[in-house]
Amino acid sequence: MKSRFLIVVASLVLSACAGIQSRYHRVTSGESLQKVATLYSVPVESLQRFNEDTLAQGLKPGQKLYIPFEEREDWDAEFYDDTNNGRVVASVDPADIGKVTFLWPVKGRISSRFGSRYMHGRGRHFHEGIDIAAKKGTPVKAARSGHVVYATSRIPGYGNMVIVQHPDKYSSVYAHLTKIDVRKGQFVTRGQTVGTVGRTGRATGAHLHFEVRAKRQPVDPTPLMFEQFARNH
């Protein structure tokens, strides 16, 4: 079976979009529920179910409809890349260093760094984030503000995981959590607790697997956390 690697969705609808796709749609005159569903590529039945109270009196201009992106058949297709070869790794834009800063998500020792590494029984592979060893149950903080686009344990190996899309090209990933304290679609602020350190998924000990991705490509997060890194190590 081919390995499945996580790819953060840069946009919930348009992969080329640099910002955050709104979770809501404001109904305009002449729009039908089917037209709105088609616009966002979601089933009309799901759109109706998630907005049952709003639509109790029918569809009207000015109404604010919640868009259930995760109800699309391919909602998680871009979370996976079923190839073992040709991994594309981006470099942090030098212009972003010092300007775009990420909070250190949990205080602890880096037990595994970003890049190629060897693991007993698995051989050499590319580690797309950093592992931070910390006591089980330690709160994990959002490195930056943004929208939660994933908060469950469906991706093999990562255990309980949270993905936050930030209002630019970056996303951050928090994996192996003991518990998740946020939900999909929720806006979280920098420093807000998203979960607690654990060892769910494929993990030999309690730690946080933390990733930063730029337009879906993994980058070494340490340059973007330089000040935080120096303060904690």
Q: Is residue 10 part of a domain?
A: no
Q: Is residue 9 part of a domain?
A: no
Give dist(CA 103, CA 101) in Å, integer: 7
What is the predicted pLDDT for the residue at 118? 53
Give dist(CA 178, CA 60) in Å, integer: 43
Give dist(CA 153, CA 198) in Å, integer: 13
Share of the chain above pLDDT 70, in %: 69
Give dist(CA 184, CA 132) in Å, integer: 24
What is the predicted pLDDT for the residue at 72? 63
Mean pLDDT, rounded, for 124-133: 80
Dump pLDDT digits (tens) for 1-56. 333 333 333 233 222 222 234 567 899 999 999 999 888 888 899 899 889 989 99
Bridge-based pairing state of the strands 207-214 and 130-133: antiparallel
Q: Is residue 85 part of a domain?
A: no
Q: Is residue 76 part of a domain?
A: no
| Shared-domain flag, residues 121 and 42 | no
| Shared-domain flag, residues 62 and 95 | no
| Shared-domain flag, residues 37 and 97 | no
What is the predicted pLDDT for the residue at 110? 86
What is the predicted pLDDT for the residue at 223? 86
| Shared-domain flag, residues 146 and 52 | no
What is the predicted pLDDT for the residue at 151? 93
DSSP state of 120: T
What is the predicted pLDDT for the residue at 158? 87
- With a CB cutoff of 8 Å and minimum separation 6, the contacts of 159 are 153, 175, 176, 177, 198, 199, 200, 201, 202, 203
Question: Which residue has tokens 């871009």?
Answer: 78
| Shared-domain flag, residues 35 and 148 | no
For residue 215, with 0-12 CB atoms within 10 Å meaning exposed, 13-18 middle and 19 or more buried, which class applies? middle
Give dist(CA 76, CA 73) in Å, integer: 8
The CATH number of residue 179's host domain is 2.70.70.10
Q: Is residue 54 part of a domain?
A: yes
Domain range enclosing 59: 24-66
Alpha helices in the chain (DSSP H): 33-40, 44-50, 226-232
Dump pLDDT digits (tens) for 138-159. 999 999 998 998 999 888 788 9
| Shared-domain flag, residues 142 and 32 | no
Q: What is the pTM of this model?
A: 0.61
| Shared-domain flag, residues 120 and 207 | yes
- With a CB cutoff of 8 Å and minimum separation 6, the contacts of 128 are 5, 6, 89, 114, 211, 218
| Shared-domain flag, residues 96 and 137 | yes
Structural domains counted in the chain: 2
Mean pLDDT, rounded, for 165-180: 91
What is the predicted pLDDT for the residue at 17? 24
Q: Output the average pLDDT for the chain.
A: 76
The CATH number of residue 58's host domain is 3.10.350.10
| Shared-domain flag, residues 206 and 131 | yes
Q: Is residue 103 part of a domain?
A: yes
